Structure formats: structure tokens, C-alpha cells
Amino acid sequence: MTYDLLFSLVNASVMPAWALLIFAPKWSFTDRLVHSMFYPLLLGAVYIGGMVMAAMGHGAEGGGFTSIEGVRTLFSTDVGMIIGWTHFLVFDLFVGAWEARDAQRRGFKHWMLVPCLLLTFMLGPIGLFLYLLLRKVTDKGRWSLAEG
């Protein structure tokens, strides 16, 4: 398998989950697939595989997390890019699924959540920011994430 194919497969793997969150949020299959451990485990396995490959010499030497140059070096290889992109995909999907569950619990109309989900999918933190702002503006939540 080539790195390009793996990247494409990882990228495409989250599309059904986002489609279900947007178009079928209350379907039982959405709950069983998107709100389960399936995606974190699937993408986590890809992430771990990439880390193992990097440790076995398929990554960039001199990479690290303590400087911008170290991070640039980490992402300078195909393995590093797949690891980084998988990281973004799994966490953005995790946040989007949380937004969907939280919005349902708080009684939001789904159409209000859709822009937040789309932005979370495309621009991660901006979508989360918009969702948290929506909670506050609609008086359906305080600033705290710890509240029930």
C-alpha cells in the first residue's frame, strides 16, 4: 500500500461519520457507529501504525515537539503527514460527535448545529468555538464544559 492510498483511505474513512452526524443524527446506526469506539479505535490503530513506522526509521530524523523546526521535521515525511492528518481527523470527529450529543441533550434544533459540524469538520477549533458560542447565546449552556 502506498502512502498516497493510505492517506486517501484514512481521509475517506471519516466521511460517512460526518454525513451521518449531519443528515441522520438520530438514526440508531449513527449512534452505533459514530458515537461508539469504532472511529477512535480504527484511526488510533492507523496512528499507532504510523508511529511504529516512524520509530522504525520511516520518519524524519531530528523531529520533536519542543521547537517549530522539530515539528516541521516531524511532518516532512509521508509517514509524518499521515500521523498528523490522522490525529486531526480523529479528534475533529470526536469533537463533532460530542457537539451532536450535547446539542441533542440541550434541545437544539438540528439545523442550528449543522454549521458548527461543518466548521468542526473543516476547521476544527472554529467549529467548536461556534458551537460553544451558540450554547451561550441561546442560553442553553454556561461557559463551563463541566456542567451537565
pLDDT 10s digit of each residue in the chain, 148 long?
A: 898 999 999 999 999 999 999 999 999 999 999 999 999 999 999 999 988 887 777 666 777 778 888 788 888 888 889 989 999 999 999 999 999 999 999 999 999 999 999 999 999 999 999 999 999 998 777 656 555 5
Q: Where are the domains of the chain?
A: 3-137
CB 28 within 8 A of CB 91: no
Is the pTM for the entire model greater than 0.85? yes
**Which residues, in sequence order, are CB contacts of 85 under 8 Å at separation 6+?**
7, 10, 11
> CA Rg, the chain, in Å?
17
